[in-house]
Structure formats: structure tokens, C-alpha cells
Amino acid sequence: MSTIAPATDPRVRAGLTYPFDDIEDGRAFPVAPGIALVRLAIPGPLRHVNCYLLDDRDGVALVDTGMNTDAARATWKALFKGSHAGVRVTRMIGTHYHPDHIGLAGWMCDHHHAPLLMTRGEWLTARMLIADARDAVPPEMTAFWKAAGWSEEQVDHARERGWAGFRRVVRPLPLGYTRLRDGEALRIGAVDWQVVVGSGHSLEHACLLDDRRGILLAGDQVLPRISPNVSLGVTEPDADPLGDWFASIDKLRALDPDLLVLPGHGDPFTGLHVRLDQMEAEHRERLAMLELFLAEPARAIDCFSVLFHRRIGPDMLGMATGEALAHLRRLEVEGRAAREECDGVWWWRTA
């Protein structure tokens, strides 16, 4: 692997320092001794996902994979025929179940005869979503959309996409896996990584901490320029994902503020505590604005103008709805808002 290439003049933006320049898609970019970032293009507004190769005893451990797309598979094939020719993946580590992170995990496990490592909640959720693929959208999902205030046109548009979208972009996972547990040590090569589990963006998101060298593989739990999507979904409609996410921020504040953070999207950075404070402040501000907005009863879909600073089109409607519901549910848990149901639609008002 090539030597690490820090920026000649590290960028500082919004209190965060970005030590690297020119991270090129599809190449193994060294970010620390024994750690390379591989950036893959993905469809949608995020545009790319970061995967990481960690030197192991007889190969590399791979953290996340990108979606199951022709472009992503072609990128990995080119890498393992080029700069990493003859290198095998010893372990396949999935930070969480979202398709842009484990879409090709099963493919990698099969090709390299590598075990899959994930937390139990993430592995079970992925397995459930793959197994539950079907043509027709379940009636519970339709009712959930209508409860959030979707129009018949919006519901019909979503129905046309069917209920197999997850399986289309995620290859089947192995029947067995190795469970990652919060706080346990995971030795990869000569490095002892500590598993740090967060929640809110997903159920049991696994981060990896190398405390000795000051490195955090953060996945989507901490991102440099955007906040991770925190959504309330149909599978657990009475959950409090935003409350879980606030608790995870408090947990991560116990880590060294000067860690090099290797995120799932965006560029590596330092300034962990600054970023945690920024993300929490953003969502606390949204909650305060939403509480004022709910002086008059409103549906989740009515809250988009308060929570988001852009038009929400059909492709982002599901994520925006989930995030609006997560904020409304947090206000309900805190006793600052109440929900009433009328003809299958949820109406929220300031308590």
C-alpha cells in the first residue's frame, strides 16, 4: 500500500479539520498505517459511501461494501485485480444493515470464504428485510403512510415500487454470523479495536475504536457535514429513535475529542466533540421550532417546512416522513406534544 498523504494545508470548516485531500473514487486511499479508505459511488443525494480495508494477518478485514450494483461490483473487482491482487478478505464487518453499507457483504463472504461480523440487531434486521421481499406493499405500511398524512397519489406512487427494494440492492447474507457486542475487543492484525455501539440511525450500529492510535471508524453514527437520518418506522411505531440518538451522542462524548474520525460518508476529520455538539444542537433546535409550529394541529407531512430546508420529492418522501415522525415522537415522550388519531390520520399538537 502507498504511504499516507495528508493535505499540505489541512482544511478547517465549521470547527472540523479535514487532513486529507483528493480522495478518489474506487481506489484504496491510505488514511492511517494499515487502514485504507475505498470510496464507492452510490445512487441518491449522498453520492458515495466510504468502505475501509484494515490490514489483517493474512489479508484485509473489510468494513462495509457499498450497494449491490453493477458499478460497485466492478469497482471491487478492479481493486482486487489491481492494487490488491492476491489479497483476500479475512473478515467482512458490517457497521449496520443499510444497503449502502452491506449490499455486497454476502457477495464478499462467498467469494473470499470470509465470516460476517455484525451486531445482532443489525444482522437480524437485514435478514428479515431480505426475507420479507414481496410484490405487494403490506396494508400495515399503507396505513402508516396515510397516518403520516400522505395523499392517495403519494401512496399509489410508493405502491408502484413494490416491497422488494431492499433485496434488490442487498445480496443474500450468510446463514450464520459472528456477533459484535458493545465494549468487546476485536483484534485485527496487530490492532485491538473496541466495539462501540450507537443507536438512533439504526438499531445497533457498530463503530470501531482504536484508542491507542486515536482512530474511530464511525460508519454513519457520526458524519461530518450532515446529520444521519433518524427515522421512526412501521416496524416499531412507538419507539423513540431520536431519544436513542441523543443518548448515543452522550455516550460518544466520553471518547477522546481529538480522534481521527473515519465516517461512512464525507471526508475523514478531527473534532469529534465539536461535531457531536453541532448535531445535537441542530436537532434540539428543530424540536423547539416544531413545538411552536404545533400550536395548531398538524400531520407529519405538514412538518416538512419546519424540519427541512428543501423541497421533498417522491424519492425522499419516505425518509423525510420517518424523520418527521421521530421528532414528533420525541416531543411526545418529553411531554411537549400529544397525538390524536382521526380517521386513520395522526394529528399532533403542542401539549
pLDDT per position as a tens digit, 88-118: 999 999 999 999 999 999 999 999 999 999 9
Considering only CA atoms, which of 220, 228, 205 is closest in space to residue 121? 205
Is residue 161 pLDDT above 60, yes or no? yes
Given a contact cutoff of 8 angstroms between Cβ atoms, the answer to whether 250 and 257 are in contact is no
What is the reported pLDDT for 322? Answer: 98
What is the reported pLDDT for 310? Answer: 82
* Residue predicted with more confidence, 10 or 101: 101
Once rounded to an integer, what is the mean pLDDT over residues 285-304? 98
What is the reported pLDDT for 2? Answer: 32
Given a contact cutoff of 8 angstroms between Cβ atoms, the answer to whether 170 and 103 are in contact is yes
What the block records as the C-alpha cell of 141 is 405500511
**Which residues fall within 8 angstroms of residue 269, CB to CB, at 6 or more apart?**
16, 17, 18, 19, 224, 260, 261, 263, 275
pLDDT tens by residue, 173-186 = 999 999 999 999 99
- Among the listed ranges 9-23, 90-104, 203-217, 333-347, which one has the minimum average pLDDT value? 9-23
Given a contact cutoff of 8 angstroms between Cβ atoms, the answer to whether 299 and 325 are in contact is no
Once rounded to an integer, what is the mean pLDDT over residues 306-321? 92
Assigned CATH for 6-134+163-290: 3.60.15.10
Given a contact cutoff of 8 angstroms between Cβ atoms, the answer to whether 22 and 9 are in contact is no
Distance CA 281, CA 290 (A): 14
Q: What is the DSSP string of 130-198?
A: HHT-BSSPPHHHHHHHHHTT--HHHHHHHHHTTB-HHHHHSPPPPS--EE--TT-EEEETTEEEEEEEE
Average pLDDT along the chain: 95
CA distances for 281 relative to 249, 251, 275, 327, angstroms: 11, 16, 10, 14
Is residue 127 pLDDT above 90, yes or no? yes
Is residue 69 pLDDT above 50, yes or no? yes
Q: What are phi and psi of 345, to 5 degrees?
A: -115, 135
Crossing angle of helices 152-160 and 317-333, rounded to 10°: 120
Is residue 264 pLDDT above 80, yes or no? yes
First to last CA, the chain: 59
What is the reported pLDDT for 91? Answer: 98
CA dihedral sign of residues 322, 100, 263, 113: positive
Tell me if residue 259 falls in helix, strand or coil. coil
Extents of the domains making up the chain: 6-134+163-290
Q: Which residues pair with 167 in a beta bridge?
A: none
What is the reported pLDDT for 10? Answer: 75
What is the reported pLDDT for 3? Answer: 36
CA distances for 87 relative to 54, 90, 175, 182, 189, angstroms: 12, 9, 25, 29, 14
Q: Which residues pair with 52 in a beta bridge?
A: 37, 63
pLDDT tens by residue, 238-255 = 999 999 999 999 999 999
User: In the structure, what pLDDT confidence band is assigned to residue 9 with cuts at 50, 70 and 90?
Assistant: low
pLDDT tens by residue, 115-124 = 999 999 999 9
What is the reported pLDDT for 4? Answer: 47
Once rounded to an integer, what is the mean pLDDT over residues 286-304? 98
Is residue 8 pLDDT above 80, yes or no? no
Looking at the chain, the whole-number percentage of residues with pLDDT higher than 70 is 97
What is the reported pLDDT for 45? Answer: 83
- Among the listed ranges 54-63, 139-148, 157-166, which one has the minimum average pLDDT value? 157-166
Given a contact cutoff of 8 angstroms between Cβ atoms, the answer to whether 162 and 137 are in contact is yes
Is residue 16 pLDDT above 50, yes or no? yes
pLDDT tens by residue, 71-82 = 999 999 999 999
Residue with cell 448535531: 279
User: In the structure, what pLDDT confidence band is assigned to residue 129 with cuts at 50, 70 and 90?
Assistant: very high
What is the reported pLDDT for 35? Answer: 98
Given a contact cutoff of 8 angstroms between Cβ atoms, the answer to whether 139 and 165 are in contact is no
Is residue 19 pLDDT above 80, yes or no? yes
